[in-house]
Amino acid sequence: MPDLVAPLVAVHRSYLAGLDEFRAEGRLGRDDRSGLAAEAEGVPDLHDARGFERYVEALRALALEETPRPEGWVPATHLWYVAGDAWIGRLSIRHRLTPILLAHGGHIGYDVRPSMRRRGHATAMLRLALPIAGSLGITRILVTCDIENVASRKVIEANGGVLEDQRGAVLRYWLQPAS
C-alpha cells in the first residue's frame, strides 16, 4: 500500500525514472510552473548517490523556517508518495500563503508520475495530506488547479474541495483539514 512519506534515498532509481517520464511528456522545462520542476531544477548531481542524498536532505530542510529560500518562498513540507522503493509522486504543503500563493498557488501542490496516473493516487495523496496540513496549523486549505485540468479538479472535489472562484485560468478551492 503506498504511503505519503518524507523524501527518502531508497527510491533514488525510481525517482529518476519518474523524472524521465515527466520529461518525455514535455515537463520540467523552463515553462513548467509545477512544484516538481521547482524542486528538481538546477540540481546537477541527482544521478550521483551522494548528490541525491543531499537533494533529499535539502527538500526535508525546506520545512524549517530558518532554511534559506528564494525571496517570496515560504516554508513547505515536501512529501513523496511511495510503495516500497517505487516513487509514485510528490506533494508539497506550503505552511502559509503569500499574495501570489493566495491568488494562484495555494497551500498544496502535487504531481503523479505519468505511468501511475488514473489509479486514484492523487486523490489518496491529497486525502493523506489534509491532516498533515492541519497539524501545521493550517485551518483552511487552499488548493488550486488550472481550469483545463479536469483530473485535478476531480481530485480536489473528491476530497471535499469547495470552489470559491476562478482567477484567470486558475480555479481556487478550499478544503478542511482532516482530523
- Is the pLDDT confidence value at 41 over 70? no
Residue 63 has pLDDT above 70, yes or no: yes
Q: Write out the three cell numbers for 34.
A: 509545477
CA geometry: angle at 140 spanning 104 and 66, to 5°? 75
Which residues lie across from 173 on neighbouring strands?
Answer: 143, 163
The DSSP code sequence of 83-106 is ETTEEEEEEEEESS--HHIIIIIB
**Domain membership of residue 146 as a residue range:** 3-175
Q: What pLDDT shows up at residue 108?
A: 98
List, edge to edge, every strand of the sheet that includes 76-83.
3-5, 76-83, 86-94, 108-112
Q: Which tens digit of pLDDT belongs to each residue from 120-155?
A: 999 999 999 999 999 999 999 999 999 999 999 999
The total number of structural domains that make up the chain: 1
Query: Can you give the CATH number for the domain in which 112 is found?
Result: 3.40.630.30
